[in-house]
Structure 1
Amino acid sequence: MSVVALIVAAGRGSRAGEGAPKQYRPLAGQPVLTRTLRAFLAHPEIDHTAVVIHPDDEDLYRASIERLEPDLTGRLLPVAYGGETRQDSVRNGLEALATTGAETVLIHDAARPFVSAGLIGRAIEAGRSGASVPGVPVTDTIKVTGPRGEVVSTPDRSTLRAVQTPQAFPLDLVLGIHRKAAAANLHAFTDDGALAEWAGLAVQVFDGDRDNVKITHPADFTEAERRLKGHSMTYVTRLGTGFDVHAFAEGDHVWLGGIRVPHDRGVLAHSDGDVVLHALTDAVLGALADGDIGTHFPPSDPQWKGASSDRFLAHAAGLVRARGGLIDHLDTTLLCEKPRLGPHREAMRQRIAEIAGLRLDQVSLKATTTEKLGFTGRSEGIAAQAAATIRLPEVES
């Protein structure tokens, strides 16, 4: 039975921070995609491999396959081009494979370069029987929460699995499912197993591999580099703090945590006056011992007039990555009588995580009043204090 692999590499990888899409970034000297492709092209049971890429990435793709051994590139099929969503990209790739005569297809994320030959073999065996996905047991207790953050239920973790790729299917079956979903104007499925469930098919879970990690955030690159180098890197933990304040002025909104919050006042500031992002930026710079926000973005420079403060925090986070470091946690307390933080807290946490390239659970955001005391208590202004915990490679003396 002929087997093909479809590598999905059309995403932008925005959570990995600034730079090229993550599948083309170097990992121990080779692009992530090169490492992923080698695992499939070298597997004796894979007949051919195809890649779905973004139309703008042809040069990056060519540079990636140039790193492959000549005897492997002969098993590469022409590329397919991605669509608006991952689901669209997978469907485009499957359509390109429809004329190959293959019976089984393995669909794999390009950002999982540690896929093993054993896992690929298990996927092939499972895919010959029907829709199959690899999964690993969940070790943490999982809570289902409601709209106010309250716990709704605690599922039995012995029944839970964290699903990975490659996911395996009979080619005709999964292509038919994708066509059916597209005809129904459904395009948001991020997992082909979930799409098969939607179509009413039984989906089997076979043994995954805990080493088959997906590179998503900047910290994942550091961990992957360390793993490939075969030794543990020693880090030193740094803590930095930041504080920012702005007086209220005429206006109808304030910027907080990268979110536009309606308010009966604005703030007096050179940039957009986002006290949360300003305090966080100073906290990260403080942990780096690299000056403060005014050093990097002087208010005397007209280019920062009205600037969006997400640029400041992204810059500070980029400095951490440039030094081979990791941001472990960002914590902020907003000090004001109004506006209320509650309705906007989760949106702000999500935006901060996006700017800094972190997971949501690495961002904390709180608020307090000052019991009507001081300038914040008199509603004359707004303030924020922040702390950042980072790790930097230890420098030997």
Structure 2
Amino acid sequence: MSTTGSSVAAVVVAAGRGIRIGGGTPKQYRRVGGQAVLTRTLAALGGHPALDRLQVVIAPDAAAFYAECVAELDPAVRAKLAPPVEGGATRQQSVRAGLEALAQADAPETVLVHDAARPYVDAALVDRAIAAGREYRASVPGIAVSDTIKLVAEATALVSRVRETPAREALRAVQTPQAFAFASLLDAHRSAASADLHSFTDDGALAEWAGLDVVVFEGDLRNRKITQPGDLIEADRAFSDARNPAMTTYVTRLGTGFDVHAFTEGDHVWLGGVKIPADRGVLAHSDGDVALHALTDALLGAIADGDIGTHFPPSDERWRGASSDQFLAHACALVRARGGRIDHLDITVLAEAPRIGKHREAIRARIAEVAGVPLSAVSIKATTTEKLGFVGRAEGLAAQAAATVRLPEEEPVLDAQAETAMRQG
């Protein structure tokens, strides 16, 4: 394992399911003030000039959620991101996965471990964490406890007998980011795993078990962790646009698209970003993927930003034979640039052949990957035209698509004449 002088990296733990908060989407991917919690957390950490690298740990099935969060980050922050790694069954296992990934590259001298569900972290707290991490092998942020704490005999009972009342002056509520000498924390995690201990919920506690002296530095009362549904509501208020201190209001828009291509000589067609063997190809300037072309137009329609020909004119030789997934990626980026969220993508392919049944899941997965949405947000169907029309005569194939997106509601803009009329009326 090598080191890079005084370099600092952060492991961001985002592999949890967030079941206590309810709903089907983990809390780190819920939107507050128009952006996902994880996006805000990464932006806050990645914007710090002393942090060189961010190693995010995600659940095995969260790649699409993660891609959507990353797409909204500033390019300078994205440049600091290492490829995400999959977490384990416990938080401790997830942290170790992040540490091992960092160890495979040039390992940092200092590492911060931070919860994805703490988006309020600010530069001053990161400053204190880095300073403590460089001076001590193990350090955690803590805030004084204002409530009286009781130690009870039966932790799971509805009514428990008090065993002890600790002096609250000596108590601290521990937060993240916690800061460590990288080598010391990695050794502690490996030792715990060797001892078949996997349930530490706090890296400071694991460091204590491993025999490290753990110090507490000043935390931040504002650095709350999103845990309950009410925390999401509060975070949405806190992060909403200053012009609208209440929750950001979104409007749902539906866009549709349609595309058609004639058959020509060839041995394959592209549908939904997947190459499908066929007895003919299609006549097109690009790769002729009718599904992605229709879907691109649907997204552009939802944000009222022209059509695919406006953005990628067929007269431009740059797009000759081009892969259509870049057209879809461009449209998705335009949606997110407006603070929007893609909710659902639905495609119907009209063709006598080729049949897409056995390729359906591959197409859904590819579209989800390009668009940065969950697999459950992509639907593709196919039908024939009962031998009617050019599709029925097997002269070509077509696709129609619908895209549902949410955009921040804009305040109405009135021209001078309309404003005068309103005032006089």
Give the TM-score of the pair, scaled to structure 2.
Answer: 0.54
1:28-107 superposed matches below 5 A = 28-98=33-103, 99-107=105-113
Give the match for residue 207 of structure 2. Answer: 196
| Contact kept in structure 1, 2:13 and 2:116, CA below 8 Å | yes
Secondary structure of the structure 2 residue equivalent to 1:68: coil
2:143 paired with 1:136: yes
Give the match for residue 133 of structure 2. Answer: 127
Give the match for residue 222 of structure 1. Answer: 233
Mapped partners of 2:232, 2:14: distance in 1: 17
Give the match for residue 332 of structure 2. Answer: none
TM superposition shift of 1:46: 0.3
> In the superposition, relative to structure 1, how do residues 26 and 233 fare at CA in structure 2: closer, same or farther (>3 Å)?
closer
TM superposition shift of 1:228: 2.3
In the alignment, residue 47 of structure 2 is paired with which amino acid? A
In the alignment, residue 87 of structure 1 is paired with which amino acid? Q
TM superposition shift of 1:226: 1.9
Give the TM-score of the pair, scaled to structure 1.
Answer: 0.58
Uncovered stretches (5+) of structure 1, i.e. residues with no partner = 235-397
TM superposition shift of 1:125: 0.5
Mapped partners of 1:225, 1:64: distance in 2: 16
TM superposition shift of 1:232: 7.1
1:18 to 3, 19, 23: 23
> In the superposition, relative to structure 1, how do residues 221 and 89 fare at CA in structure 2: closer, same or farther (>3 Å)?
same
Uncovered stretches (5+) of structure 2, i.e. residues with no partner = 1-5, 248-425
Larger CA Rg, structure 1 vs 2 = 2
In the alignment, residue 134 of structure 1 is paired with which amino acid? P
Mapped partners of 1:232, 1:34: distance in 2: 20
1:155 to 155, 166, 169: 166
1:1-397 superposed matches below 5 A = 1-98=6-103, 99-128=105-134, 129-147=136-154, 149-229=160-240
Mapped partners of 1:72, 1:91: distance in 2: 23
1:9-60 deviations in Å (ceiling 9; x for gaps): 0000001111211101111110000000001111010011110001100000
In the alignment, residue 36 of structure 1 is paired with which amino acid? T
Mapped partners of 2:86, 2:13: distance in 1: 10
| Contact kept in structure 1, 2:33 and 2:238, CA below 8 Å | no
Runs of 4 or more consecutive aligned structure 1 residues displaced over 3 Å after TM superposition: 229-234
Give the match for residue 377 of structure 1. Answer: none
Give identity over the alignment, percent: 56
TM superposition shift of 1:233: 6.0
Mapped partners of 1:55, 1:190: distance in 2: 20
1:117-174 deviations in Å (ceiling 9; x for gaps): 0000100000112100000000001111112511111110000000000000011110
Mapped partners of 2:175, 2:107: distance in 1: 26
1:273-323 deviations in Å (ceiling 9; x for gaps): xxxxxxxxxxxxxxxxxxxxxxxxxxxxxxxxxxxxxxxxxxxxxxxxxxx
TM superposition shift of 1:191: 0.2
Mapped partners of 2:245, 2:31: distance in 1: 19
TM superposition shift of 1:71: 2.0
Mapped partners of 2:176, 2:77: distance in 1: 22
Secondary structure of the structure 1 residue equivalent to 2:62: helix
Mapped partners of 1:94, 1:53: distance in 2: 13
